[in-house]
């Protein structure tokens, strides 16, 4: 059974490599969001298009935005890891 956890280590190393590679390789790019690039294409294809609605609320700064993104990730990781920890503990108690 521990072979599963061993293969997880390899899989996580592969994920890390996939994320690090673009930064380590000599790639030209600003690493901006693809959503913003798509906006560029819209302006190129339909130069006259004006967005007809704007966000009700926007984070006032990059700091606040990163706060909320971190909160989103932390909430998700918190619930997921609570569950895994709970099941881990329960399976140990059964043994």
Partner 1 sequence: MHIMEGFLPATHAIAWTVASAPIVAYSAWRVKKVVEENPNTKLLLASSGAFAFVLSALKLPSVTGSCSHPTGTGLGAVLFGPWVMPVMGTIVLLFQALLLAHGGITTLGANVFSMGIVGPFVSYALYRMVRKSGGSLQLAVFLAAALGDMATYCTTSVQLALAFPDPVSGVLGSATKFLGIFALTQVPLAIAEGLLTVVVMNILTKFSAGELKSLKILNREAQA
Minimum distance between the CB of residue 73 and partner 1, rounded to whole angstroms?
4
Sole residue written with tokens 């909160």 = 71
Question: Is 54 an interacting residue with respect to partner 1 (CB under 8 A)?
Answer: yes
Residues 59/65, Cβ–Cβ less than 8 Å: yes
SS3 58: coil
Phi, psi of 93 (to 5 degrees): -65, -35
Residues that bind partner 1 (CB under 8 A): 1, 4-5, 7-8, 11-12, 14-15, 18-19, 21-23, 25, 27-35, 37-39, 41-42, 45-46, 49, 51-59, 65, 68-70, 72-73, 75-80, 83-84, 86-88, 90-91
């Amino acid at each position: 059974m521990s072979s599963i956890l061993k293969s997880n280590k390899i899989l996580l190393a592969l994920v890390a490599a996939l994320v690090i590679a673009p930064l380590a390789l000599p790639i030209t790019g600003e690493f901006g969001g693809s959503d913003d690039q798509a906006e560029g294409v819209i302006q190129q294809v339909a130069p006259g298009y004006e967005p007809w609605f704007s966000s009700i609320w926007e984070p006032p700064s990059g700091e606040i935005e990163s706060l909320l993104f971190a909160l989103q990730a932390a909430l998700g990781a918190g619930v997921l890891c609570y569950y895994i920890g709970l099941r881990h503990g329960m399976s140990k108690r059964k043994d």
